[in-house]
Structure 1
Amino acid sequence: MSGNAITPACAGTCLSVARCAWTAPDVGNPLPGTTCPTDGPLTAELDTPAQPTPPAAAGEPARRPGRRRVVVIATAVGLALAAVGGGTAAALSKSVTVVVDGQSQQVRTFAGSVSGALAAADQTAGDHDIVAPAVDAPVHDGDTIALQKAKPFTLDIDGIQQQAWTTADTVEEALVQLGQDPSAYQLSADRSREIPLDGLEVTASPLHSVTLTVAGAATPVTSGAATVADLLADQGVTLSPTDTVAPDATTPVTDGLQITVDRVLTATVTDTVEIPAPEQRVEDPNANKGTSAVTQAGVPGQQQVTSEVTTVNGAETARQETGRVTVKEPVPTIISDGTKSTLETRGNRVFFNDTEFGVNWDGLAYCESTNNPKATFYPSGFPATFGLFQFDLPTWQSVDGTGNPMDASPEEQLMRAKMLYQKRGLEPWLCRDAASGPPPA
């Protein structure tokens, strides 16, 4: 190449901020591109016209004549250094830190602006992205460029959608950017969930404070559920077909709402119940009239009773008997009543030989009437009294007696006296002390 000087200069336009085409004027076609040391055009020319090709020496192959040789520098960096000097090229190269969504990388670039530096980091700023400094700002060695990628974000609150672009990393940050309080909503996505580059749609339900009472146990609940049914589902409360809920499951949830779930159960229950021993009375002609004796002790029986029992929150509220079966018949209590007459007549005096209820009836009659069924007495200032037990007429009528007591049979007079005793004890008789004494002689 002796005698041929290369004058570097740019031909045409650079292919990018840091690239251009090298050309030779006699050829007119671009040579392989390489790095431009300056922003101006650069070409390489041969300043000596083409010479005929000399004959080949003996034993050498013949050379092709007719064209000038084009000297191509293989590497652009080498040519650039030859053109402008190594120190100048190094000065044009910059080291820049590019931070994309918090992730940083170091790049070297000849670019003069932020957009060129981003391109060197294989990044592009979209219309909604945030870049600092601005994309058209100049870039210097050691600069840091921050790029926050914007993502589509859709927020649905009670069916009303709000669409926006956000540079927030999480759902919570995006809500704050949109002027919403994340703690006031129940969200379809976790608050800490990262928003992907292709975007995210989040449903936000306003929170309400209610009281939920299940089977008598009350619990304060904060929920974003739209209806009572939704709230029960959120709380894991399952209703059986017999349970009741108030208010109705379709009721919208509002602050202060009182929700009550009653657990209603209906079950078939079988109980064993006792059948009381019945009482049977029989006459005993061999026992004195007015005496009684138990001749057979009773034994209770048993029945199985089937019922449908309804409970609300564990407390029985209704019972309907559906069946009854006797599994053990009761044994009756048998009482023998004496029918043998003990009436004894001595002239106009009558003796009963009767001590029923522990009363000496003959002793009482003796004191009242000397055992005379026809006795009468007219005390001064008091009603007249008649018969064995000296009934006055109003007292006789109080035990269903009719007529005059002394006209009734001795047996009826004794029967009415026993009826009066069962009502008032011995209180009506002045001779009450004689009722406990020995029988008259």
Structure 2
Amino acid sequence: MVAAPPSGPPLTRREALARERAAQGGGRAAQAGGPDPVATAIPEPASAGVTASTATATAGAESTRPRARTVQIVGQAVVISALVAGTGAFVGLSTPVDLTVDGETVQARTFGDTVADALAAEGLEVRDGDLVQPGVGADLSRGMDIVVNTAKDVELSLDGHESTETTTAQTVGQALAELGVDPTGAEVSKDLDAPLDLEAATGLSVVTPKTVTVRADGETIPVEATAASVGEVLTHAGVDVADTDFVTAPLSAPVVTGQSIGVMRTETTTEEVEETIEAPVEEKKTDKLLEGKKKVEEKGRDGTRKVVYEVGEIDGEEITRVELSEEVIEEPVEKVVLIGTGDPEDPDSYEVPADDGTTMSTEDIKAMVGGPGSPWYKIVQCESEFNPKAVNRQNNKYFGLFQFGIPTWEGVGGSGNPADASPQEQFMRAKMLQERYGWSQWECAGMVGVG
């Protein structure tokens, strides 16, 4: 007679494993006197299978992958209390199968008809994410291989990116292959042959090799390194980074193949320079100048100052300049500029420039008398054609720009021959003559419409 399965709370995975090994040992010792006891499943991963969500699922491949779940195998040891005549019936009516759980294989017998019955008889609880092959609804046959790969959680850090993954793999290497991570040349925190934790999530860090370009100190440095962060790449490149330097990505940021990382050196210095203080300008309006004309009445003078600057540079290029202090060495003197408001028809609106002893060109003379359209311009053009040395050809009695006669010239303070005076003096005495007697003093005035 077959002993009834033990009652009580479900066994842990370790307890089930221990009881199974004890049962297997006892079975070998009793082979001369009776059949093998029913084996208990031991977990370890395989690579492929069919997912079962419940013991009553239909046959075929079914697969789901939850984020976290702990497989519990409720071991039910079959204790042979007595080897009696019923043993022959048990062997004849039960179906022997090979049961592999996460790589551990045991032999078992069951009176059920399906894979689900065999798993239930062994106290195996199949949960979402587990892979069962064949499917839990498949019919049993003698010597059938039943494979169960349990779902396991992996806390994966891949090149600094954190994620929680679920896999039915049994080892670290199998898990990486299933997740599409190539460990060739990578730094892996665990051996590829190391088994995954069945009870809790397995922590796993993988840093893959990368090809990165670093630009620093005027150089372009190709880097091939197994590095997870920008800071690690710079260390491989032999580039030191100071707190004041600027890096195009945070040092703790993940790095990827093909990335370009720039390091810019920053520097702050102080600089002392002597600068010009421009003289302030005061503008005064006057009707003694034609409208729009300007004249410097007082030249003024620029000052000087000593200034200390804080200068910020990136890779030798100045980007900021902040004034820290100044010391005035010489104060500037104000410059005064006259702005003309005079009427072009008003003779007094034309100012005579200072006589500095230099020769005036024809263009200078035209500008002095106000340019085309001014009454003075028209008279000089008619009387002398802007020639300060002109002499009247008919009687040789009239001279210069304004064709002064000698008595008239002397009457306004002139001496000698008007043609020998500077253009500035000739213009000044012509203005005096006009102020006293009007435009009628020039015959050309009526001819050119002045007066």
- Please state which band the TM-score falls in when normalised by the shorter chain: 0.3 to 0.5
Answer 1 or 2: higher relative contact order, Cα 8 Å, separation at least 6.
2
Larger radius of gyration: 1
TM-score, with length taken from structure 1: 0.32
TM-score by length of 2: 0.31
Higher strand share: 1
